[in-house]
Structure 1
Amino acid sequence: MYFYIDESGQTGLELFDDNQPFLYYGVLSSEFNLDELSLPHVEKLRNNLGVERLHAAELGNGRLVTIVDDLVALKEKYNLSFDFYRITKKDHAALCFFDQVFDQGNNPAVPWNAYWTPLRYVLVSKVSLLFDEVLLKKSWKARIAINKNFAEKELVEVCQKLLSRVHRLPDERSIEIITDALNWAIKNPSKIYYHASSKDERLQISPNLIGFQSVMHGIATRLENTKSEATKVVVDRQAEFNKAQEWISDLYRNTKKLDEPAGFGPGMPAMDLRHIPSVRIECTPGTESAGLEIVDIYIWIFKRQMEGKPLATELYPLIRGQANGMFNEVSLQALEERWGKWFKELPEPTPEQIGKGKDLLRIDEQRRKKALLI
């Protein structure tokens, strides 16, 4: 299998650009080497349009309509599949705050089950309700700061502001957990590790890398489902994030030898790296890859359709023809929809299970309350 990966809506570490609230990744996959086999077709389309490269944003609806039949023919000839990923940037800032401050490994005031089980998705929803955009910007600025003293000072101020709002929540248990966790973070900011230690680490917590992790897992799923191997993984070359993309793909590739998926806690998704590509990603200029030119068009079309922007009806065959495509979104709404359904489908616990649960909760509460005294 051959994979071609591009992105759209890239604003780097700036998450609050209202003109580009989402980051998108698109992955085009085929059993054929598109860079070689589709190049004559792509060159013909370039010549017909009078352009040096097929770039959807420049072509727009009008000119793309003139080549849509050719694009459909390419899809059918090379059995193209398209997978699409979206990250809501502002939600990424909220999730980063939660994952650092409420990580039970960092913050002992957090109950074990509130972080290492699906209850974390209930808690992250409650914490996110306490933010407004001003406070969210402040928390993100601190999270990507390299200056440790600045980051800890800002973190304390963010936590204090959140504490002043926690009474707005409707249930006492959430108020108790969040209050305790924030108070502990205020007293122990250096143990939260809220700053970035280097420029490289800043890139590793960017939405670009979170999205790219989704891309790698999506490729692994497609390889598993098709019982195939990756021959080439082509990523659009761009200066800022290729190094981080290579880092995470190499990390996954080097740890894929694990015999079993790594679990994070009861009910939580497992990390399964067994089908991650064995080949290294190839960061290639878009001007040197026909596959990247094609995926750019797919991203533009799907992005406009998702955002409700004007899209020529003649282009819809490319969307309807992707019934086997995967879509994944990183956002608070997506988490609530996914895990809300999971909680609704849980069976009623037995009296024995309730008793065991209370015993475990009592033990963890004793540990947690001790931490609050330190």
Structure 2
Amino acid sequence: MMHFEAYIDESGNTGIDLFDKRQPFFWTGTMVVTQGVRFPCDITSIAQKVGSKELHGSKLGLRRINEIAKQLIDIIETLNARFMFTRVEKSHISAMRLADALFDNVNNPAVTAFHYNVPFNKKMLAYYVDIMMDEKDRKDFWNIHLAGDSEEFREFLIRFRSKIERQFPKSNQRGRQLVLDAIAWGIKEPDSLLSERTKKPEGIEDFRSLQYESPNLVSITTLLHGLHYIAEEYEMKATKIIHDEQSEFGKYIQHSFSLLKRIRIDQSNQFLLHEVKDSDTILAELELGSSANSPFLQIVDVVLWMMTQKVDKGKDIMGNARNLMNCIISRSNIFHFSSKHLEADLKYSFNEIMSKPITQQKMQSGIKAMEKLEASRQQQMRENNLLK
């Protein structure tokens, strides 16, 4: 089996501020090359050609990138490099944190493992929350989440319940009731739903530090998913992973990466309980490196900046820079974490369900299973004094 190296850069360090309108998305860019490959030229001479010591996309701008685009294309093709991008909508993090708080069946008896651990069902419940939260809701909940204030959370949920009752589509009675039941428990026991942020279980590594709430850290799971995907697609394993050391969250990124790289959640079937598997795809620990000492990181910096200009800012890239952009795109995968992607993912899964034939026998069997599950859920709520 072949081995690969990965070089990672970020689009900027934003901390735990999710609502900076100038930077609604957080990006990472990764270049994947075969283990031990040599960089084919002196990158310093290329940088000097455009009046710089190093290649940094934001400092060069499109005009100067255009001047060296042909050389960058030659480098990428010689290295046979592939690129991977993650794009995280920062305000979406708040909505998904609320969804996790509400629907984690370990903490909320109004929800079952069937609802939280089956990917399609979990995404559907998360989508209900996402579409109901406006910008104020997201900001309010995010502040509560960071502070771990259970009384403020109770007041927030009372307001949010009123919103659900007024605005949630009455055509979807089952979804509406599930959300309202989950909220009812939160109003009754708000501290239990904030416990993942406020209480450290004995013997468990403390992830309550607010540093772990930054988009930089949230993107790690998406980044690892992408690395696993590329590794499996090309039947390779990672033996070196270098992250640009400029990130102020470096040590937290390293820690999270070290713990999460060993596992992979199999969600190949969206309609079955997801399975957590051991993984040996990522053999290396994440290292921090300087772009000054790594031509690979300098290429990633330029490539990532160009991608954000095209996708987020909609810039029309012309000339040789356009050829470079096309070269990058032809060798890229992009992984999204956003409201639009959640909606698109659900539509795809729903169409997949509707396209499959189902017999009357299977239909009746499914109805009976759902009735049994709902009876169990209702009993669980009665035992926790949510129903009389």
TM-score in same-fold range (> 0.5): yes
Give the letter aligned to residue 294 of structure 1. Answer: I
- Relative to 1, partners in 2 of residues 1:78 and 1:32: Cα closer, same or farther, differing over 3 Å? farther
Point out the more displaced range, 76-85 or 313-322: 313-322
Query: What CA distance in whole angstroms lies between the structure 1 residues aligned with 2:236 and 2:113?
Result: 39
**Partner deviation per Cα, 1:215-269 (whole Å, 9 max, x = no partner):** 222222222222223231110113532222212221134457xxx9589984466
What are the within-5 Å matches in structure 2 for residues 19-98 of structure 1?
Answer: 19-31=22-34, 33=36, 37-38=39-40, 40-98=41-99
Query: What CA distance in whole angstroms lies between the structure 2 residues aligned with 1:128 and 1:297?
Result: 33
Question: Which of residues 345, 348, 364 in structure 1 aligns to 2:352?
Answer: 345
CA contact (8 A) 2:262 2:278 kept: no
| Structure 1 residue 311: Cα displacement | 4.2
Pair 1:250-2:252 in alignment: no
Give the letter aligned to residue 298 of structure 1. Answer: V
Give the letter aligned to residue 289 of structure 1. Answer: S
Equivalence for 2:197: 195
CA contact (8 A) 2:197 2:208 kept: no
- Relative to 1, partners in 2 of residues 1:249 and 1:20: Cα closer, same or farther, differing over 3 Å? same
**Partner deviation per Cα, 1:88-112 (whole Å, 9 max, x = no partner):** 1111110111012111222111244
- What TM-score, normalized by structure 1, do the two folds share? 0.89
**Partner deviation per Cα, 1:268-288 (whole Å, 9 max, x = no partner):** 665555353111111112222
- Relative to 1, partners in 2 of residues 1:208 and 1:325: Cα closer, same or farther, differing over 3 Å? same
What are the within-5 Å matches in structure 2 for residues 163-182 of structure 1?
Answer: 163-167=161-165, 168-170=167-169, 171-182=172-183
**Partner deviation per Cα, 1:277-308 (whole Å, 9 max, x = no partner):** 11111111222221111100000111111124
Query: What CA distance in whole angstroms lies between the structure 2 residues aligned with 1:196 and 1:316?
Result: 49
As a proportion of its length, which structure holds more strand? 2
Query: What CA distance in whole angstroms lies between the structure 2 residues aligned with 1:290 and 1:267?
Result: 44
- Relative to 1, partners in 2 of residues 1:194 and 1:282: Cα closer, same or farther, differing over 3 Å? closer
Question: Which of residues 301, 309, 329 in structure 1 aligns to 2:336?
Answer: 329
- Relative to 1, partners in 2 of residues 1:307 and 1:342: Cα closer, same or farther, differing over 3 Å? same
Point out the more displaced range, 89-98 or 267-276: 267-276
| Structure 1 residue 336: Cα displacement | 1.4
| Structure 1 residue 3: Cα displacement | 0.8
Query: What CA distance in whole angstroms lies between the structure 1 residues aligned with 2:198 and 2:315?
Result: 40
Secondary structure in 2 aligned to 1:59? helix
**Identical aligned pairs, as a percentage?**
25
Query: Unaligned stretches of 5+ in structure 1?
Result: none
What are the within-5 Å matches in structure 2 for residues 1-374 of structure 1?
Answer: 1-31=4-34, 33=36, 37-38=39-40, 40-117=41-118, 118-145=120-147, 148=148, 151-167=149-165, 168-170=167-169, 171-192=172-193, 193=195, 195-196=197-198, 201-238=209-246, 240-255=248-263, 261=266, 266-267=271-272, 270-271=275-276, 274-314=279-319, 315-321=321-327, 322-346=329-353, 347-373=356-382, 374=385
CA contact (8 A) 1:116 1:266 kept: no
CA contact (8 A) 1:301 1:311 kept: no
CA contact (8 A) 2:8 2:243 kept: yes
- What TM-score, normalized by structure 2, do the two folds share? 0.86
- Relative to 1, partners in 2 of residues 1:190 and 1:362: Cα closer, same or farther, differing over 3 Å? same
Equivalence for 2:202: none
